[in-house]
């Protein structure tokens, strides 16, 4: 035993040395320092087994001596040996870290040695207890860190971070099986040169990892440099590694990997450290097991999403944003359905504490399942479990905050040798985003179909009003609106065509709207007028805070979209839709409504072109009939009659027509033919109102 005595009285130091060295059976190496700084210097060069110190020294006094000495003593216990009989001082010294407080006048040889031995053992016990407590804290921190995620890389990084804080000089390697063919892969090389280890990353397990796999138990090598089992001695030498502990990662009788710990100091990997590292590996094995289950669930989720490219792309974007796909790994009793294990992701996805899953009977059936899906999901599971079949199902779960969460549940039925179900294991994957993307895709498809139908109606319809009404019906149906209307401007810039859908009293509303035809610039219709003038869509999420909208407000409408109808770059009307509840309209709703409004413009343009073509054809037909009449008869009266008939048919209103023929060989009017007026009356009125030289006028014209 190496004893350091710090005492300024040389004679008393000699007495203590003789007292200790005279004891048989206990070799004592006694060192003496007369000053505190000398004692601290000695400890820095050679740590003693015990330090005995007097509090009254030339360079320090009282408890200050103990405070300065404690940081340098390390594992060595400190015994205060002083002549001051002060119980309060003794208690304070013990509370600050001294192992014992002895009076110089009360010691004897054997009692003194016994006190030293007790102090040494108490210090060792304190250190062991401290190390044990520290390791328990580290194990707890590691367990919390690695069970809070199902990502394998996150698990390994959390583990290495904690090991690095506890054993900073330790080097670590992780080996995991790649497949069932015996191929292994090194996934982590920490605190050593990766270049030397890289050539051995992949392939069949060899060297130290192979030794652990074959042993199926912990492998300890105290002198790794002289051991034949390492397959890469250059790496051992290059990294100054002297000892090795390899621990198999086993969980539920499954070998999940090998973790290797390398020491650069002899004796560092003692039995206590080996026991701690073995316990640590058990926690890692469970985390790796859960991470592997999570990875399988990930692959399953990805394979399901490949069926729909748009859903797959949406899910991939979502995965990239959040960094991982959460999945609930669970285990339950096949009879009671009570959960026996639930991964921590359950709380992240659904908000319920894991303890609630484990302690609440029928938690899945009574609390988790959505009421509308409960009966179907329970009956399906009962049937499949009764037949011992693995199965998959999709259902809605009610989260702790009331949200509906879509889950894809993959269930495996574990059976005994008799074929009876003894355990259920499964993975619940949150597919809410996939479902929403699928619904969005279906809605988009329905919109495309509807637009195609509208286009076909526009091309084939001969009834303009019918086509416009169908478009309005489609707009209201696709957008899920409560109310809709179309208002078209007359050439005089008034509203003269009104089509209504969803109004409580459409006839009264139509009467009110038609009454406003003569006053299109009424302030109460300012919003529609603004849309017409700007040819821009206007969205009103709450019309109560806006002036105008008398009809909508009478109908109890709160939110409105007004879209202009354009033809030849000119606004000729508006499409209006609304809801009786406050609504935050989405951009795709507005875009769809604008598309339908453009279809209405096309319908009106088509109708206008059709009318122009019809009028032109009628004019051509009239000219041909006149020509045929002139060719087929030499009767002047017949020719003039056909001519007047065709001229009159061109106009949609009653018109007065008069034709005057020149007399032969002169420039004076003779024959007068009239329609819708008496010829004599026409002649008198004509001559009375036009007293001019007709022959001169005719000459000038001709």
Q: How far apart are the first and last CA of the chain?
A: 148
Task: With a cut of 60, say whether residue 516 has pLDDT above it.
Answer: no
What value, to the nearest 5°, has the Cα angle with vertex 547 and ends 546 and 553?
85
Identify the pLDDT of residue 321: 40
CB environment 369-392: b (16+ within 10 A), e (fewer) = beeebbeebbeebeebbeeeeebe
* Residue 19 shares a structural domain with residue 80: yes
Q: Report the alpha-carbon distance of residue 237 to residue 73 in Å, rounded.
A: 34
Average pLDDT value for the chain: 79
Global model pTM greater than 0.75: no
Once rounded to an integer, what is the mean pLDDT over residues 367-388?
Answer: 92
Confidence of residue 318 (pLDDT cuts 50, 70, 90): very low
Identify the pLDDT of residue 513: 63
Task: With a cut of 60, say whether residue 694 has pLDDT above it.
Answer: no
How many domains are there within the chain? Answer: 5
* Residue 14 shares a structural domain with residue 123: yes
* Residue 627 shares a structural domain with residue 688: yes
Identify the pLDDT of residue 155: 75
Nearest to 211 by CA among 248, 266, 167: 248
CATH of the domain at 123: 3.40.50.2300
DSSP state of 369: B
Task: With a cut of 80, say whether residue 619 has pLDDT above it.
Answer: no
Identify the pLDDT of residue 408: 93
Identify the pLDDT of residue 182: 73
Task: With a cut of 60, say whether residue 462 has pLDDT above it.
Answer: no
Q: Report the alpha-carbon distance of residue 408 to residue 395 in Å, rounded.
A: 7
Task: With a cut of 90, say whether residue 369 has pLDDT above it.
Answer: yes
Identify the pLDDT of residue 204: 60
Task: With a cut of 50, say whether residue 518 has pLDDT above it.
Answer: no
Helices (H) and strands (E) in the chain, counts: 23, 25
pLDDT tens by residue, 200-244: 666 566 688 888 888 888 999 988 888 888 877 888 888 888 899
* Residue 417 shares a structural domain with residue 453: no
**Inter-CA distances, 358 with 245, 331, 333, 391, 571, Å:** 37, 10, 11, 22, 66
Question: In terms of residue numbers, what domain contains 673?
Answer: 619-701
* Residue 520 shares a structural domain with residue 554: yes
Confidence of residue 459 (pLDDT cuts 50, 70, 90): low
Identify the pLDDT of residue 454: 59
CATH of the domain at 458: 3.30.450.40
* Residue 522 shares a structural domain with residue 388: no
Confidence of residue 460 (pLDDT cuts 50, 70, 90): low
* Residue 575 shares a structural domain with residue 658: no
Task: With a cut of 90, say whether residue 424 has pLDDT above it.
Answer: yes
* Residue 286 shares a structural domain with residue 162: yes
Measured from the Cβ of residue 472, the count of other Cβ atoms closer than 10 Å reads 22
* Residue 288 shares a structural domain with residue 363: no
Identify the pLDDT of residue 315: 53
Least confidently predicted of 58-72, 362-376, 417-431, 614-628: 614-628
Give percent of the chain above pLDDT 90: 16
Identify the pLDDT of residue 322: 35
Please check whether residue 239 lies inside any domain of the structure: yes
Q: Report the alpha-carbon distance of residue 558 to residue 540 in Å, rounded.
A: 8
pLDDT tens by residue, 24-52: 666 778 888 989 898 888 888 888 888 88
Give the end of a domain, one of 395, 427, 459: 427
pLDDT tens by residue, 190-201: 888 777 676 666
Three-state SS at 137: helix
Please check whether residue 97 lies inside any domain of the structure: yes
Once rounded to an integer, what is the mean pLDDT over residues 677-685?
Answer: 73
Task: With a cut of 70, say whether residue 512 has pLDDT above it.
Answer: no
* Residue 421 shares a structural domain with residue 453: no
**Inter-CA distances, 288 with 20, 45, 53, 302, Å:** 56, 45, 52, 21
Task: With a cut of 50, say whether residue 697 has pLDDT above it.
Answer: no
Highest mean pLDDT among 294-308, 315-329, 642-656 belongs to 294-308
* Residue 656 shares a structural domain with residue 548: no
Task: With a cut of 70, say whether residue 519 has pLDDT above it.
Answer: no
Identify the pLDDT of residue 580: 92
Task: With a cut of 70, say whether residue 499 has pLDDT above it.
Answer: yes
pLDDT tens by residue, 560-590: 999 998 888 888 888 999 999 999 988 888 8
Give the end of a domain, one of 427, 449, 481: 427
Least confidently predicted of 77-81, 329-333, 448-452, 484-488: 448-452
Please check whether residue 112 lies inside any domain of the structure: yes
CATH of the domain at 351: 3.30.450.20
Q: Report the alpha-carbon distance of residue 259 to residue 496 in Å, rounded.
A: 84
Give the end of a domain, one of 131, 158, 180: 131
Identify the pLDDT of residue 323: 36
Task: With a cut of 90, say whether residue 515 has pLDDT above it.
Answer: no
* Residue 422 shares a structural domain with residue 446: no
């Amino acid at each position: 035993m190496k004893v350091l005595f710090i005492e300024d009285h040389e004679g008393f130091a000699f007495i203590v040395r003789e007292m200790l060295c005279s004891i048989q059976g206990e070799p004592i190496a006694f060192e003496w320092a007369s000053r505190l700084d000398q004692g601290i210097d000695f400890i820095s060069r050679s740590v003693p087994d015990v330090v005995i110190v007097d509090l009254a020294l030339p360079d320090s006094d009282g408890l200050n001596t103990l405070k300065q000495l404690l940081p340098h003593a390390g594992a060595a216990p400190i015994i205060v040996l002083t002549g001051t009989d002060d119980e309060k001082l003794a208690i304070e010294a013990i509370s600050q870290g001294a192992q014992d407080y002895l009076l110089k006048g009360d010691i004897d040889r054997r009692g003194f040695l016994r006190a030293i031995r007790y102090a040494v053992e108490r210090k060792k016990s304190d250190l062991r207890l401290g190390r044990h407590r520290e390791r328990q804290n580290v194990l707890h921190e590691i367990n919390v860190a690695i069970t809070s995620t199902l990502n394998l890389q996150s698990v390994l990084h959390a583990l290495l971070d904690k090991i690095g804080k506890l054993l900073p000089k330790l080097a670590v390697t992780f080996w995991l099986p790649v497949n069932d063919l015996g191929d292994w892969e090194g996934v982590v090389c920490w605190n050593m040169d990766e270049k030397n280890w890289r050539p051995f990353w992949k392939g069949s397990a060899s060297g130290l990892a192979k030794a652990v796999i074959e042993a199926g138990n912990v492998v300890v090598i105290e002198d790794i440099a002289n051991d034949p089992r390492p397959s890469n001695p250059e790496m051992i030498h290059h990294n100054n590694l002297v000892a090795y502990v390899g621990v198999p990662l086993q969980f539920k009788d499954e070998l999940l990997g090998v973790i290797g710990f390398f020491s650069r100091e002899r004796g560092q990997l003692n039995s206590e450290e080996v026991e701690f590292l073995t316990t640590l590996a058990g926690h890692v094995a469970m985390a790796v097991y859960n991470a592997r289950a999570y990875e399988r669930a990930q692959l399953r989720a990805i394979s399901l999403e490949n069926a729909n490219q748009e859903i797959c792309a949406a899910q991939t974007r979502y995965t990239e944003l959040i960094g991982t796909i959460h999945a609930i790994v669970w285990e339950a009793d096949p009879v009671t359905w009570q959960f026996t294990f639930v991964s921590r992701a359950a709380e992240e996805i659904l908000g319920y504490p894991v303890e609630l899953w484990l302690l609440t009977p029928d938690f899945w059936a009574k609390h988790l399942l959505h009421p509308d899906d409960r009966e179907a999901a329970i009956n399906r599971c009962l049937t499949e479990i009764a037949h011992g079949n693995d199965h998959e199902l999709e259902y809605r779960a009610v989260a702790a905050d009331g949200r509906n969460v879509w889950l894809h549940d993959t269930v495996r039925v574990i059976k005994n040798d008799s074929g009876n179900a003894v355990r259920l294991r499964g993975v619940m994957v949150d597919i809410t985003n996939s479902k929403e993307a699928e619904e969005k895709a279906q809605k988009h498809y329905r919109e495309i179909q509807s637009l195609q139908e509208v286009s076909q109606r526009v091309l084939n319809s001969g009834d303009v009003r019918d086509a416009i009404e169908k478009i309005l019906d489609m707009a209201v149906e696709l957008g899920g609106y409560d109310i809709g209307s179309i208002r078209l401007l007359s050439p005089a810039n008034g509203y003269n065509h009104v089509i209504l859908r969803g109004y409580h009293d459409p006839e009264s509303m139509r009467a009110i709207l038609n009454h406003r035809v003569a006053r299109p610039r009424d302030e109460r219709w300012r919003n529609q007028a603004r849309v017409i003038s700007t040819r821009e869509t206007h969205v009103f999420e709450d019309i109560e805070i806006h002036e105008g909208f008398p009809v909508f407000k009478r109908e109890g409408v709160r939110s409105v979209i007004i879209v202009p109808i354009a033809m030849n770059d000119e606004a000729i009307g508006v499409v209006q839709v609304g809801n009786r509840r406050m609504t935050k309209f989405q951009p795709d709703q507005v875009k769809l409504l604008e598309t339908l409004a453009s279809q209405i413009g096309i319908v009106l343009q088509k109708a206008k072109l059709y009318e122009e073509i019809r009028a032109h054809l009628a004019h051509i037909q009239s000219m041909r009939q006149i020509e045929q009449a002139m060719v087929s008869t030499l009767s002047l009266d017949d020719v003039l009659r056909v001519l007047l008939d065709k001229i009159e048919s061109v106009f949609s209103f009653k018109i007065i027509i008069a034709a005057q023929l020149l007399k032969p060989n002169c420039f004076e009017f003779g024959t007068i033919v009239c329609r819708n007026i008496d010829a004599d009356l026409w002649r008198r009125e004509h001559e009375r109102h036009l007293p001019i030289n007709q022959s001169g006028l005719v000459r000038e014209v001709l």
